[in-house]
Amino acid sequence: MTITDIQLLPMADHVRGKRSPVTCHFKCGNACLGPECNTSSNPAFREIASAALSRRALLGLGAAGAVGIALAAATPTGAAVAAPGGGASGAPGGLLFDAISPVPKIVDDFTVPAGYTWAPIIRWGDPLFSSVPALDFDNQTPEAQAGQFGYNCDYLDIIADRSGRTGVLVNNHEYVNPGIMFPPTSDTAELDRRAAIFKAAHGFSVVELRRSKLGRPWRYLVDGRRNRRITADTVFELTGPAAGTDLVKTAEDGEGRWVKGTLGNCAGGTTPWGTVLSGEENFDGYFAWAADTAGQKRYRATPSAKSTYTFERIDPRFDAHDAGFVNEPNRFGWIVEIDPEDPSSTPRKHTAMGRFKHEGANVIIAEDGRAVAYMGDDQTNDYLYKFVSKGTYDPKNTPVARRKNLGLLSEGDLYVAKFAGNSPAAEITGTGALPADGLFDGTGQWIPLTQDGESVIPGMTTQEVLVFTRLAADTVGATKMDRPEDVQPNPKTGKVYVALTNNSSRTLATIDEANPVTGNRNGHIIELTETAGQSGTAFGWSILLLCGNPAVDQNTYFAGFPKELVSPISCPDNVAFDSEGNLWISTDGAPSKIGFNDGLFKVPLEGPERGRVQQFLSVPREAETCGPVIHDKEGMVFVAVQHPGEEGTVGAPTSYFPDYVPSHRPDTGLVAAPRPSVVQVWRA
Ligand code: FEO
Ligand code: CA
Ligand code: CA
C-alpha cells in the first residue's frame, strides 16, 4: 500500500472512525462506514414471542479528534514527566509509579514511568525454532513465517511456572498489514506467496520463557518444549451443539467437525484450568462473500468479489462463491480454547458460546461451581453476553479433573444483557451530565438464548441460535451497546467490568442510561454487580468512567474522583486486574480522539482513590495497546504493541519500534518496517 492508497482508503477522512484509516481497512473492514448491521427494532421478548418468524428467510437457508488539543504536554521521547495529580500510586504491595504525561500522537517512542525500563521479549518474525530463519524482509516465506512469531500481537498472557524462573508466553495475532510488511508488488506469483505468508502470520504463538530470578526480565527460548505456532491452517475441533450440523459442513469437512485455522483473534482470557481463550472478531474481512442473506448481513458481510486479506487467491475455503464452501464463514466467529501446556493438543472452537464478533472471553467460577464466561460483541450497537457452563469446575490437579474442566465450555447456556436505568429518561441528556441521583446506574437481566442447552428463541433451532447469535439476541430486547470490547470479572470481588470503546452513531434518539453520551467519542466503562449470584440472571450496574480528556471535555466522569487529578483516557479496549484488584485499562484509538498515543492506565476501584485514572505507559505512534498483564508483586507489566507505525510504508516508515535502528535494505535502499512486539516493563 502506498501513501496515495492510504489517502484513498474509505476512512481516510476519519468522519466516524476511531482509528487510522489503515486500521479501519484491515482490522474491521471499515465497520463504522455504511449502514448499521444491527437494524433490528429489537422489541421486548413478550412482544415477539407470538410472532411467527420465517426462519428460512431470516437465515437465508435457501443457499447450501478532537485532535486540535494543545500539545503543550509534549515530552522528550521516552521521558516520563509527572502528570496531572501525579504522585506515587498503588495500594500497599501494589505497583508504585508516578503517572506519565500523555504522549502526543506524533511521538514514536515507548514511554514508561521514572524508575522503570522496558525491552521487547519477542517481535514479529522472531524464530520459535532453530530450523527457521530470522525475519528477512526480502526473502520471507510462508514456511519461515509459520515458525516465527506472528503479526499484530493482541491477547497476551505471561504464565510463570512455580519456580518463577521458567514460564510460557501465550499471544494471538489478530490481522496483518500488507503495506508495512512488504514493498508494493503486482506480481501474481508474489501476491500468492504473500497470501500464504499472511495466513501463517495469523493465529497464536506459544513460547517458552526463561530468566534469572523474580522481577528480572524474561527472554524467550528457541526450541522451547512448549513452543508452538497455530496458524490459519492449524486444525481445530468444533465442540458443542452446532458441531456436526449442516450449518458448519463444507466440501472439505463433510462432518462439520474440523475447522482449519483461527482468524481475527482479539482479546481473550486464561481459564482457571490453565487454558487460553481468544475471540474470533472481524472474520467477515477474510471472505469473498456470495449470497446476501440476513444471517450474513447481520455480521456486516456483503457480497464481494474478493476479501480484504486475499486468502482466496490460494485457498478456495475463503471464496464463498464456491458452492463447496458457502458455510466456511460459519466456522469462524467463535471462542477458541488452546492448551499452552500441551503443544500436541488439538485446539477447539466452542459453539455453545455463540457466534458473533467475539472480542474475548473471561471466566470466573460461580458460587455454585459453574464456569461463567463474559463476552463482548465488538460492533456498533451490539450486545454483551454471558455463558454459564452446565458442568462444575473441579479444582483438583489430577488428570480426571483436567479432562472434566476441558469440557466445561462445550455445554451450557448463553445469555444476552438487557439494561434498565433508574433515572427519568428526561435526565439522560446525551451530554454526559449526571442525572439527579448522581449516577448512571440501574439494574439488568441476563436473558437466555438457550436453556438446558436448547434454543428458547421461537422459530430458531439451537444450532441457528448459536451460528446466528446476533439474530437470536435481536429478538429478545437485548440492549444495543457502544461497542462492547473486553469484559472481565474482578477476581477479588466478582464485579464485572465492561469496556465500551466508543460509538459515533449514538444519537439523542437512541441514548439510554447505560449508553448515555451522544456520538460517544471516548467510550466508557460499566461496573456490573451480579445480584443473584455469578451464574444468576439479575444484575445491578453503574458507569465507572466516562472517558475523555477532562481538560477540554467537561462531560467526563471518573467515579467522582476530581477530574483535574486524572490522566486523560480515550477508547478503552482491554482490561486486566492486579493482585490488589485494581483495574488496568489499555486503549485503542486515543490518537484520533484526544491527540495522544494509546496507553495503559491504572484505576483503583475501592477506597478514596476509586476512579483515579493514572497512565502507566504509552505505546509508540499509530500503535494500539493490547493484552495487558500486571505482575505487580514483582514490579512487572507486559503489553502487546499492535500495529506500530501502521500509516507508514516499507519505503517511508513512520515508526522504528521496537529496535529504533533504521536498517537500510541493501537491495532496494528501503528501510525496514516497525515490528509488532510483546514488551516487558520492569523496575529498573
Ligand atoms: Fe480487536 Fe474489538 O478490538
Ligand atoms: Ca441513575
Ligand atoms: Ca481489542
Task: Kindly report, residue by residue over 489-517, the tens digit of the pLDDT.
Answer: 999 999 999 999 999 999 999 999 999 99
Distance (Å) from CA 174 to ligand 1 centroid:
9
pLDDT of residue 405: 98
Q: Which atom of ligand 1 is nearest to the CA of 266?
A: 1
Please say whether the beta carbons of 549 and 69 come within 8 A: yes
Kindly list the distances between the CA atom of residue 114 and the CA atoms of 117, 128, 360, 616, 684, in Å, as whole numbers in the listed order: 8, 33, 33, 10, 9
For the cut 90, the answer to whether the pLDDT of residue 320 exceeds it is no
Distance (Å) from CA 124 to ligand 1 centroid:
19
Distance (Å) from CA 141 to ligand 2 centroid:
57
Ligand nearest the Cα of residue 423 is 2
For the cut 50, the answer to whether the pLDDT of residue 521 exceeds it is yes
Q: Which atom of ligand 1 is nearest to the CA of 588?
A: 3
Distance (Å) from CA 436 to ligand 2 centroid:
7
Three cell numbers written together for 220: 524467550
pLDDT of residue 662: 67
Q: Which string of DSSP letters, residue by residue, matches 62-117?
A: T---GGGS--TT---TT-----TT-S-B--TTS--BPPPPP-BTT----B--TTEE
pLDDT of residue 670: 60
pLDDT of residue 60: 31
Hey, which bits of 531-635 come out as E strands? 538-546, 557-558, 572-577, 583-587, 599-603, 614-618, 624-631
Please say whether the beta carbons of 302 and 29 come within 8 A: no
Q: Which atom of ligand 1 is nearest to the CA of 485?
A: 2
Any idea which of 50-54, 88-92, 147-151, 665-669 has the lowest mean pLDDT?
A: 50-54
Any idea which of 45-59, 133-147, 186-200, 495-509 has the lowest mean pLDDT?
A: 45-59
Three cell numbers written together for 408: 466445561
CB atoms within 10 A of CB 7: 10
198-212 per-position pLDDT tens digit: 999 999 999 999 999
Q: Which atom of ligand 1 is nearest to the CA of 359?
A: 2
pLDDT of residue 85: 40
Distance (Å) from CA 588 to ligand 3 centroid:
7
Ligand nearest the Cα of residue 485 is 1
Averaged pLDDT for residues 516-534: 98
Three cell numbers written together for 409: 465450555
pLDDT of residue 292: 80
pLDDT of residue 345: 97
**Residue whose cell numbers read 458460587:** 367
Kindly list the distances between the CA atom of residue 54 and the CA atoms of 39, 61, 98, 298, in Å, as whole numbers in the listed order: 17, 11, 59, 16
Please say whether the beta carbons of 359 and 281 come within 8 A: yes
Distance (Å) from CA 517 to ligand 2 centroid:
14
Query: What φ, ψ does residue 120 adopt, rounded to 5°?
Result: -70, 145
For the cut 60, the answer to whether the pLDDT of residue 586 exceeds it is yes
Q: Which atom of ligand 1 is nearest to the CA of 281?
A: 1
Measuring from atom 1 of ligand 1, which residue has the nearest CA?
266
Q: Which atom of ligand 1 is nearest to the CA of 174?
A: 1
Averaged pLDDT for residues 179-199: 94
Three cell numbers written together for 83: 502528570
The residue type at 77? T
Averaged pLDDT for residues 564-592: 97
* 322 or 54, which is more confident: 322
pLDDT of residue 21: 72
Ligand nearest the Cα of residue 541 is 2
Of 287, 250, 473, 305, nearest to 376 (Cα)? Answer: 473
Residues of the chain with pLDDT > 90, as a percent, come to: 79
The residue type at 451? Q
Q: Which helix (H) or strand (E) holds 58?
A: helix 55-59
pLDDT of residue 663: 60
604-661 per-position pLDDT tens digit: 999 999 999 999 999 999 999 999 999 999 999 999 999 999 999 887 889 999 998 7
Averaged pLDDT for residues 158-172: 97
Strand order in the sheet with 276-280: 258-260, 235-239, 348-350, 335-338, 276-280, 265-270
Please say whether the beta carbons of 182 and 190 come within 8 A: no
For the cut 70, the answer to whether the pLDDT of residue 166 exceeds it is yes
pLDDT of residue 76: 30
Q: pLDDT grade, residue 291 (50/70/90)?
A: confident
User: How far apart, in whole angstroms, are the C-alpha atoms of residue 23 and residue 501?
Assistant: 15
Report DSSP state, residue 5.
Answer: H
Question: What share of residues in the chain are helix, strand, coil (percent, to 5)?
Answer: 15, 30, 55
Ligand nearest the Cα of residue 175 is 1
pLDDT of residue 7: 38
Pairing of strands 384-392, 370-376: antiparallel
Distance (Å) from CA 665 to ligand 3 centroid:
33
Q: Which atom of ligand 1 is nearest to the CA of 378?
A: 2
Distance (Å) from CA 539 to ligand 2 centroid:
15
Averaged pLDDT for residues 282-301: 90
Query: What φ, ψ does residue 605 adopt, rounded to 5°?
Result: -110, -15
411-430 per-position pLDDT tens digit: 999 999 999 999 999 999 99
The residue type at 102? P
Q: pLDDT grade, residue 18 (50/70/90)?
A: very low
User: How far apart, in whole angstroms, are the C-alpha atoms of residue 672 and residue 382?
Assistant: 39
Three cell numbers written together for 29: 473492514
Any idea which of 24-28, 81-85, 88-92, 447-451 has the lowest mean pLDDT?
A: 81-85
* 291 or 476, which is more confident: 476
Pairing of strands 348-350, 235-239: parallel
Q: Which atom of ligand 1 is nearest to the CA of 28?
A: 1
For the cut 80, the answer to whether the pLDDT of residue 33 exceeds it is no
Q: Which atom of ligand 1 is nearest to the CA of 357?
A: 2
Averaged pLDDT for residues 587-606: 96
Of 10, 1, 47, nearest to 29 (Cα)? Answer: 10
Please say whether the beta carbons of 508 and 518 come within 8 A: yes
Distance (Å) from CA 144 to ligand 1 centroid:
27
For the cut 80, the answer to whether the pLDDT of residue 676 exceeds it is yes
User: How far apart, in whole angstroms, are the C-alpha atoms of residue 591 and residue 64?
Assistant: 44
Ligand nearest the Cα of residue 624 is 3
Q: pLDDT grade, residue 25 (50/70/90)?
A: confident
Distance (Å) from CA 510 to ligand 3 centroid:
24
The residue type at 552? V
Distance (Å) from CA 374 to ligand 1 centroid:
15
Q: 511: which residues sit within 8 A by CB, 6+ positions away?
A: 428, 430, 517, 518
Please say whether the beta carbons of 201 and 233 come within 8 A: no
Q: Name all residues whose Cβ lies below 6 A of ligand 1.
A: 174, 266, 281, 359, 378, 485, 573
For 666, the 3-state DSSP assignment is: coil
**Residue whose cell numbers read 516493563:** 681
For the cut 90, the answer to whether the pLDDT of residue 276 exceeds it is yes
Averaged pLDDT for residues 533-561: 97
> pTM higher than 0.75 for the full model?
yes
Q: Which atom of ligand 1 is nearest to the CA of 282?
A: 1
Report DSSP state, residue 560.
Answer: T
User: How far apart, in whole angstroms, are the C-alpha atoms of residue 432 and residue 363?
Assistant: 31
For the cut 50, the answer to whether the pLDDT of residue 594 exceeds it is yes
Distance (Å) from CA 527 to ligand 1 centroid:
20
pLDDT of residue 356: 98
What is the pLDDT of the chain when averaged over all its residues?
89
For the cut 60, the answer to whether the pLDDT of residue 70 exceeds it is no
